[in-house]
Amino acid sequence: MSITLTDARIVTPDEVHEGWLTIENGRITHVGRGKAPGEGHSLSGGYVVPGFVDIHNHGGDGGSYPEGDLDGARRAAALHARHGTTTTIASLVTAAPDDLARAAAALADLCEEGVLAGIHYEGPYISPARRGAHDPALLRTPDRSEFASLIKAGRGHIRMITIAPELPGAPEVIRAAADAGVIAAIGHCDATYEQTLAGIDAGATVATHLYNTMPALHHRNPGPIAALLEDERVTVELINDGVHVHPAMVRLAYDVAGPDRTALVTDAMAATGIGDGSYELGSMAVTVEDGVARITGTGAIAGSTLTMDVAFRRAVRLAGVSLPEATRIASLTPARVLGLDDRIGSIAVGKDADLVVLDEDLTVTAVMRRGAWLGLD
């Protein structure tokens, strides 16, 4: 199949230009400027950006990845795809090792189908003091043997694990993750600046939702935030929903880390796309009111109801990020984190035709995944 998209404003990592592009067999074969050489499908001046890449997502449309339910996981992935996320990592939450292994084994089926791009263990090796929406009774001390079993359960599809670097055994597990080709992410931690640097030296390369569930910046005790922001080896996740992080702090992190070390994520949970009500995240009861998810009875934030198109739009409208740079933090940088930037993350010849069409208000009007249009709500 071949299709040419014309009358478009194409957003690359470096610029926005008026032009056209051709897709054949699910890949981009031509990207041109000005008027297309022939007839095509007119986008009437719409912006075309690369499909969004979400490396931290717990679910949506009533489906929750930690449950390992395939029907629910399919609904979640489809909901986020309709909002422009063409590549999704399914994030689990702290659970007993057998339950984590069971969920990972189930989700591995969807990875093999191409519905998901991998699996993320957010826990159980996190700090009790910074556990957030994780069940404290199920937290564990990092263990290399146990970690190897969890990796095996995912049949090659475990892409990331979040770990608190100050815990006993954490450096060894971080090194084991790096050796296994699994991204080690620092988060849900109570670490000092020095302990965080030690975790980075051991092989950690991502900050799980920077600022959230970690000690705040302090001028005498800089803690993990300063270490993660300043180290060029680390990509920082940001939940840009206006609830988790104030826009001023989004701008601060972005100004320090820049577009090549910042990745927008949703941290979305089952309520995304549905609305307020009662839900579960792993073993924890969650109440969603006015779009904000909190652990029932405690007030602790429990994921989000964010979609990547909203995070993208907020980055441009409220954080002052240019359109080209916004495509980098929503698509190219997270793709690079996953080692997939040769295939996805930007509009370029040879890459998968994962595309999002936006109107003047940066609202999604169409989504293409691997050359096929997806139905929208």
C-beta of residue 57 within 8 angstroms of C-beta of residue 268? yes
DSSP 214: S
pLDDT at residue 133 in the model: 85
HEC profile for 100-169?
HHHHHHHHHHHHHHCCCCEEEEECCCCCHHHCCCCCHHHCCCCCHHHHHHHHHHCCCCEEEEEECCCCCC
- Name the nearest CA neighbour of 90 among 123, 120, 70, 53: 120
CATH of domain 2-49+345-374: 2.30.40.10
Task: Given CATH 3.20.20.140, say whether it is the number of domain 51-338.
Answer: yes
pLDDT at residue 376 in the model: 55
Label residue 26 left, alpha or beta by phi (over 0 means left) and psi (-120 to 50 means alpha).
left
pLDDT at residue 168 in the model: 98
End-to-end CA distance of the chain: 25
| Per-residue pLDDT tens over the stretch 127-155 | 999 998 899 999 999 999 999 999 999 99
Distances (CA, A) of 59 to 90, 272, 278: 7, 7, 15
pLDDT at residue 284 in the model: 87
DSSP helix/strand/coil, 63: strand
Return the structure tokens found at 92. 């689990």
Q: Has 267 been annotated as catalytic?
A: yes
How many CB atoms sit inside 10 A of residue 155's CB? 15
Active-site choice (135, 267, 309, 354)? 267
Q: What are phi and psi of 140, to 5 degrees?
A: -140, 160
Which residues of the chain fall short of a pLDDT of 70? 376-377
Return the structure tokens found at 77. 């992935």
Spatial distance between the Cα atoms of 146 and 143, rounded to a whole number of angstroms: 5
pTM of structure? 0.97
pLDDT at residue 283 in the model: 85
Spatial distance between the Cα atoms of 353 and 373, rounded to a whole number of angstroms: 10
From the centroid of its chain, how far is CA 109?
A: 20
Residue stretches of the annotated binding site: 122, 188, 209
Axis-axis angle for helices 247-257, 308-317 (nearest 10):
80
Spatial distance between the Cα atoms of 253 and 231, rounded to a whole number of angstroms: 12
**2-49+345-374 and 51-338 share one fold:** no
pLDDT at residue 198 in the model: 98
Per-domain residue ranges of the chain: 2-49+345-374, 51-338
Residue stretches of the annotated binding site for Zn(2+): 122, 188, 209
Return the structure tokens found at 167. 């815990």
pLDDT at residue 377 in the model: 45
Spatial distance between the Cα atoms of 344 and 212, rounded to a whole number of angstroms: 28
